[in-house]
Amino acid sequence: MVRKLSRHAFTTFWDVHAWAGVLGGLLLYVMFLSGGITLFRRQLAVWEEPLTQQRSSIEQTGLQAVLDRGLAAAGTTPEQIWIDLPEGGLGAARIQYRAQGEAVSSWVREEVVPERERLSDFLYELHYLWHRATGDWLFYLGGLLCVALLLALATGVLIHLKDIVRQFHQFRPDRRRRVLWSDMHKVLGVMSLPFQVLYAYTGAFFVFLGVLVQVFTGPVFGGDAARADLSAWGASFADEPARGAPARGLTLDELTARARAAEPRLVPERIRIRHHGLDSGTVELRGAIEGVPFARGVVRLRATDGAVLSLDAPGAEGARSGAFRWMYGLHYADFGGITLRILFFVLALATCATILTGNWIWLARREARRESLGNRLLARLTVGVGAGTVVAIAALFLSSRAFPLDWSARAAAEDLTFVVVLGLCVAWALAARDGGRLLWQQLGLAGLLLLPVPALAARWSGAGLFGAGQKLGAVVAVDVALLLAAAALCASAWALRRAALRHAAPPRATRDGAPAPLSHGGAGLMARRQTASHG
């Protein structure tokens, strides 16, 4: 039998749990919602860009042709070049580099096409709160929020440990609204607890790993930055030579063959080229390792003669630990196929609901201070950010199919659409006179914005649900998922509206003689009515 906590311990743990959840909850909500969507990043990347829906031509042209075309379009030779290879024989290679301080990204097939769609990348970056305009500080804030989530989870378990089995299944939708929120918070929290712990721990680890490497380079690695990098990343940039003299090197195809000879299990996915055309040039190939769960490999070669400079793969000397690989594999769901990703998506939504209901419980416990500015602000922000993020994501999808495909400013315009729509939803929530209607109105708006997206997608691609060309599974799946999401949002809005109208009816006596509860957003009005009646 689990021993009951003392009153002091319970109060202390509850305060830590509540404050950690309230202070970081809304940003964590955004991280989990966008993270759940980016579990399907590969499918979204194929859906959003018609060039990725064609068969790859790399097998016929070779990798060197990709590099040559990319450099010809650049008109210069950048110090560092990244090439992302198409997966499964589908799509186009993507070349990335920096020119005059600006990041350049282009698709390379028979011709070079500047990257024109960033929806999947934007949502992926939103998951860890990073954007080119904000830099790294929000990224590190996301890591701190993961630590706060771990603290909230630990204290939550301690608070409810003696009742955790009962709270796994106790759900009473016919009780008061506060009881409903509490049951949802506990049931969803317990069901998704392993998922939340996994993502909070691995998320914090990924954010602060670079900092830890720098901290331990001196005491653990004797100041050898190259060895520290190898242990953490599988490759080192610290020991690379300075720019040298022009020299002829092996072709990219020959270097790839050398890398495959050094590690036959490597499936190249990304290539990093440094100091191309110089005697200091290096080429690094990254990718999955066939036959080993969650395994990644990195082979770095000297460009002039193909000599192996470093090799990181399971079984290789100096390879990173298996635990490190498992953390990456679990976080990115590199196992279990589409079924597991759907399960993880559902758990991400459950986590989002746990966060929002936690805020509502916090507010319900402060019923007497409901009219204070801080509580009113939190109540409106919870709805404005909670539903507003869904509206902003729906607007992002709509804009990605509505803006002209070859419009040079479309990527920036899509990012701005998300920010502006989210800001407007928050402003709407803060200014609304009736907070009880906000939730269903914004969810309904999100559903209506998503509804035409699959049909609009047919403008750029015939591979989707409404396209006239040959169907492609990933594209059709995204179209179907968007229609289901639109239907679910509209149905939720309709159900919440009915519930709000029902609760807005004149108070009626319940079994215990108390008035029937109103919606959370109308709590202020309820309190004023009760004050007037008792006066």
pLDDT at 174: 64
pLDDT at 319: 56
pLDDT at 500: 73
pLDDT in tens, 125-161: 999 998 888 888 899 999 999 999 999 888 888 877 7
Query: In a 3-state reduction of DSSP, which class is residue 370?
Result: coil
The long-range contacts involving 9-13, CB below 8 angstroms and separated by at least 24 positions, are 9/158, 10/159, 13/155, 13/158, 13/159
pLDDT level of residue 529 (50, 70, 90 thresholds):
very low
Q: Please report, for the chain, how many H helices and E strands are present, in that order.
A: 19, 8
Cα radius of gyration (the chain): 27
pLDDT at 254: 96
How many degrees, rounded to 5, is the angle at CA 267 between CA 112 and CA 46? Answer: 45
Higher pLDDT, 107 or 513: 107
pLDDT in tens, 302-340: 999 999 988 888 876 555 666 777 888 889 988 888 999
pLDDT at 525 over 60: no
Q: What residues contact residue 187 under an 8 Å CB cut-off, 6+ apart?
A: 167, 168, 169, 170, 171
pLDDT at 39: 95
pLDDT at 483 over 90: yes
State the virtual CA torsion across 331, 332, 335, 341 in degrees, nearest 10: 100
The separation between CA 51 and the C-alpha centre of its own chain, rounded to angstroms, equals 24
Report, as an integer, the average pLDDT of 399-408.
92
pLDDT at 509 over 50: no
Strand 266-274's sheet: what is its strand order? 112-114, 102-108, 93-99, 80-84, 266-274, 282-289, 296-302, 308-312
What is the rounded distance in angstroms from the CA atom of residue 108 to the CA atom of residue 91?
A: 10
Q: Which of 340, 248, 328, 242 is nearest to 288 (CA)?
A: 328
H-run or E-run covering 200: helix 193-221
pLDDT at 518 over 50: no
pLDDT level of residue 422 (50, 70, 90 thresholds):
very high
- Per-range mean pLDDT, top range of 98-112, 164-178, 207-221, 384-398: 384-398
Q: What percent of the chain has pLDDT over 90?
A: 47
How many degrees, rounded to 5, is the angle at CA 510 between CA 506 and CA 515? Answer: 45
pLDDT at 358: 86
What global pTM score does this model have?
0.86
Report, as an integer, the average pLDDT of 73-93.
89
Residues forming a β-bridge with 104: 97
